[in-house]
Structure 1
Amino acid sequence: MPVVEYRLEDRLPTVEEFLAVTTAVGWTDAYDPAAVPASLAASLHAVVAVERDRVIGLGRLVGDGAIYYYLQDLAVVPERQRRGVGAAILGRLEEWIAGRASSRTFVGLFAAGESVGLYRRFGYAVHDDMTGMFRVGPR
Structure 2
Amino acid sequence: MAADDFDWQEASPDVDEYLALRAAAGLSPFTHTAAERGLAGAWCAVCVRREGRLVGMGRVVGDGGCFFQIVDIAVHPSFQRRGLGGEIMRRLTETLRTRASDGAFVSLLADPPGVRLYERFGFRASAPASVGMFRRFTKDSGDFT
TM-score, with structure 1 as normaliser: 0.91
Q: What are the ranges of 5 or more consecutive residues in structure 2 without an aligned counterpart?
A: 138-142
CA distance, structure 1, for counterparts of residue 82 and residue 64 of structure 2: 30
The runs of at least 4 consecutive aligned structure 1 residues that moved more than 6 Å come to none
Match of 1:60 in 2: 59
The AA in structure 1 aligned to 2:18 is F
Kindly provide the amino acid, as one letter, of the partner of residue 90 in structure 2.
G
Distance in 2 between the 1:21 and 1:112 partners?
Answer: 16
Cα deviation digits, residues 24-78 of structure 1 (max 9, x gap):
0123x43122211111001111100111111100000110111111001110001
Does 2:83 correspond to 1:89? no
Q: Distance in 1 between the 2:50 and 2:74 partners?
A: 14
- Within 5 Å, which residues of 2 pair with 1:73-84? 73-84=72-83
Aligned ranges 1:58-137 → 2 under 5 Å: 58-127=57-126, 128-137=128-137
How far did 1:105 drift?
A: 1.2
| Deviation, structure 1 residue 3 | 4.6
Task: Judge conservation of contact 1:66–1:100 (CA < 8 Å) in 2.
Answer: no
Q: Is the 8 A contact 1:49 1:58 kept in 2?
A: yes
Secondary structure class of the residue paired with 1:61 = strand
Q: Which residue does 2:25 correspond to in 1?
A: 25
Q: Please say if residues 60 and 92 of structure 2, whose CA atoms lie closer than 8 Å, have aligned partners that are also in contact.
A: yes
Deviation at 1:20, TM superposition (A): 1.6
Q: How many residues align?
A: 137
Deviates more, 1:58-67 or 1:99-108: 99-108
